[in-house]
Structure 1
């Protein structure tokens, strides 16, 4: 049986997902509109942290995340070799993605190009409120997919092709449960940047 806090988290994720992006998957002929989306949330007994797994990138792969109800946006680890995707696109300075994230900071990275390290890209502060740590992270878009449901049975994956997120580093998750690769924050329905 699901705990009440897990149910609340599932509802928050559902509304977060709907408020950020259209939740339609394109199929030949007609668009698919899911009735609901499912994001399984569990609690790690050793750390008391909430955990989930999303599917992201091309090709899609599972990304294990710590769930935080006190943070600002989705960020995932983009350390060298950690993030591989053919559909990763950095948010270029002045782009609509930067405006959506309220980022007014343009950065260059001399160790790239690679996910998380590109020139002329906007950035924001990536927070780990669990460990009270922060760093500057590159804004980017990529494919995100969640499982749909009719309320009783699992349905097809719903893909959002240009989902906005931030790149962080694994050092921000030193005390996370093993194999966590980022943080899913549920407070604000869009990315946040303190550079306003």
Structure 2
């Protein structure tokens, strides 16, 4: 069952659309963009969204984990009831579009998720490191339009494709009442790809991850800006851009060998602490012939993970700069390697007053500056730690940018020109804290 907060939010949005409909005959305009809210689970440090699927009169409300690199949308269909649900038969065009498998069957009573001669696709539960083949189906999804400031109308997306999974696939999936997953990758059946295609919107989407679950939401925009953060300040006008890099070899768990990666990589050229370059081999920031190396953006990795040869000099330089600012180092708290006394790093509007860390990106003067709120984390009472983790000496990806570092930045993924648009920190306004319903 959905949380009371989820139901309240959906009720408010639905009420707005109902009021317009009740005023008489009203033809919905073509949406400029589609919006979904993002919430953060403070225990699992994962982000999730909420949508409705099925019969428009009595739709099913689904809380779903957000995975930037996942190829599809899937959720538990054990109790899913909808007269408009249709399975995708094996060999059908929809099955081919989803790169589905030839055949799966089911010996139980037919229902959504249990049919014979059905197209199957892989789903992956990262919490259990568990992959399985589940039934590909389609149904009507309900979404909400936005002008970048207000949430406007309710729209139906018919024939939205998703995997209708069994209960085992969602077991221990992190989140609040989470029963599925929303993939945002480059594939044709990801959430942004299907919605952009149906409404003929620009092939771009943007995310802003919230730093807290305390009455604060984040955003998914599908179709482009404007993005008002705060109200009346359009962040789309000030984005700096860097290329999205395609890994020549797929590294995802459920991707076929030899396929190009559908995940999102960028070219980090250098890392600086207080304006000084961290010394490590630049070859680590490029892909080798097997697709190993580079920098990936991840919404499911809580903290940025670095190759040991990057992590160790970063910590060394950071500790040195912190000591020059009289910030006292204390015993580390696993999994973090450098921790400090917060009393010696006074809190500011951008977090603890510590040395800035800059990710220098490809492009003229493009960099992502991490202030204290994004580079430090409270590990326990009276201890704050550098929020980076040692990924060992043989990781598949040298740098995995995690959620904590991405929070309160607007990231726009333009799939037409293959660029990432990056805002300055919107920490002072907490993503959609000012969004109007």
The TM tier, using the shorter chain, reads 0.7 to 0.9
Q: CA deviation at 1:31?
A: 6.2
Q: Secondary structure at the match of 1:176?
A: coil
Q: CA deviation at 1:162?
A: 0.3
> Using the alignment, how far apart are the partners of 2:90 and 2:136 within structure 1?
10
Name the structure, 1 or 2, with higher relative contact order (CA <8 Å, separation 6+): 1
> Using the alignment, how far apart are the partners of 1:95 and 1:121 within structure 2?
10
**Equivalent in the alignment of 1:5:** none
> Using the alignment, how far apart are the partners of 2:28 and 2:96 within structure 1?
28
1:1-196 → structure 2 map (5 Å cutoff): 32-58=29-55, 59-79=58-78, 82-173=79-170, 174-191=172-189
Q: CA deviation at 1:194?
A: 5.4
After superposition, give the CA deviation of every residue in 1:2-54 in whole Å (9 maximum; x if it has no partner).
xxxxxxxxxxxxxxxxxxxxxxxxxx886631111111011110100101101
Contact 2:52/2:60 (CA < 8 Å) preserved in 1? yes
After superposition, give the CA deviation of every residue in 1:123-180 in whole Å (9 maximum; x if it has no partner).
0111123432111100000001111112222211121110011012333331423421
Q: Secondary structure at the match of 1:39?
A: strand
Q: CA deviation at 1:117?
A: 0.5
> Using the alignment, how far apart are the partners of 1:172 and 1:43 within structure 2?
21
> Using the alignment, how far apart are the partners of 1:167 and 1:157 within structure 2?
24
> Using the alignment, how far apart are the partners of 1:191 and 1:36 within structure 2?
18
Q: CA deviation at 1:60?
A: 2.0
After superposition, give the CA deviation of every residue in 1:69-89 in whole Å (9 maximum; x if it has no partner).
23221001012xx11111110
Does the C-alpha gap of structure 1 residues 114 and 159 become closer, same or farther in structure 2, counting only changes over 3 Å?
same
> Using the alignment, how far apart are the partners of 1:141 and 1:152 within structure 2?
31
Contact 1:35/1:148 (CA < 8 Å) preserved in 2? yes
If the length of structure 1 is used for normalisation, what is the TM-score?
0.77
Does the C-alpha gap of structure 1 residues 96 and 31 become closer, same or farther in structure 2, counting only changes over 3 Å?
farther
Aligned residues: 167
Contiguous gaps of at least 5 residues in structure 1: 1-27
Does the C-alpha gap of structure 1 residues 175 and 96 become closer, same or farther in structure 2, counting only changes over 3 Å?
closer
Structure 1 residue ranges (4+ consecutive) displaced by more than 2 angstroms after TM superposition = 28-32, 169-173, 188-196
Contact 2:88/2:95 (CA < 8 Å) preserved in 1? yes
Contact 1:170/1:182 (CA < 8 Å) preserved in 2? no
Does the C-alpha gap of structure 1 residues 35 and 49 become closer, same or farther in structure 2, counting only changes over 3 Å?
same
> Using the alignment, how far apart are the partners of 2:28 and 2:176 within structure 1?
38
If the length of structure 2 is used for normalisation, what is the TM-score?
0.36
Does the C-alpha gap of structure 1 residues 195 and 110 become closer, same or farther in structure 2, counting only changes over 3 Å?
farther
Stretch moving more, 182-191 or 116-125: 182-191
